[in-house]
C-alpha cells in the first residue's frame, strides 16, 4: 500500500520493505522488513498552536478594545487548532538500535487526510503483526 501524505510526503508498505518519502525532491528512505525490530506510531495534538494563547494574555493589558478583541480571538484560534489538528509520526527501530523518525504530517480530525493515515496505520499494523514486529502507540 502506498499513501500520499501531501506536501511531497509518502509512505509505502511493501512486501519486502517499508519506504518513506520525506520531501518531494528528496530521496526516499527504505528499510527492509528483515532489519525492522520495532515500530512506534505517534499521534498528538497540535500543541504548537497553543502559543497563540500569549496573545490572549496580552489582550488583558491592551489599551483599546479592538486590540483586546484580536488578542482574545487569536488565543481562541490557538485552542481551536490544538483541539482539531493532530500531528502523526512513525518511528522505525532497526536492528542496530537506530531509531528513524518519520514525520507523517498534520491532519484535521475527520478529514480525508486523517482517513488515509488511519488506513496506512491499519496496513502497517497488519504487516508488522504478520512479521512478529512489535508496534507501539495508541490502540496498539
Domain ranges of the chain: 2-135
pTM equals 0.79
Burial class (CB in 10 A: 0-12, 13-18, 19+), 121: buried
Can you give the pLDDT at residue 47?
92
Can you give the pLDDT at residue 79?
94
Tell me which residues of the chain have a pLDDT lower than 50: none
Can you give the pLDDT at residue 139?
57
CA distance 129 to 127: 6
SS3 43: strand
Can you give the pLDDT at residue 138?
63
What are the C-alpha distances in Å from 140 to residues 85, 129, 134?
21, 10, 9
Amino acid at each position: 500500500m502506498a499513501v500520499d501524505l501531501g506536501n511531497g510526503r509518502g509512505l509505502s508498505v511493501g512486501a519486502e520493505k517499508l519506504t518513506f518519502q520525506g520531501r518531494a525532491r528528496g530521496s526516499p528512505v527504505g528499510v527492509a522488513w528483515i532489519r525492522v525490530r520495532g515500530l512506534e506510531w505517534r499521534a498528538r495534538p497540535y500543541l504548537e498552536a497553543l502559543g497563540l494563547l500569549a496573545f490572549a494574555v496580552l489582550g488583558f493589558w491592551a489599551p483599546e478594545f479592538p486590540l483586546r478583541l484580536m488578542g482574545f480571538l487569536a488565543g481562541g484560534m490557538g485552542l481551536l487548532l490544538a483541539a482539531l489538528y493532530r500531528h502523526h509520526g512513525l518511528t522505525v527501530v532497526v536492528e542496530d538500535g537506530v531509531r528513524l523518525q518519520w514525520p507523517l504530517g498534520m491532519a484535521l480530525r475527520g478529514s480525508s487526510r486523517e482517513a488515509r493515515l488511519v488506513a496506512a496505520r491499519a496496513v502497517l499494523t497488519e504487516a508488522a503483526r504478520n512479521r512478529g514486529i512489535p508496534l507501539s502507540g495508541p490502540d496498539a
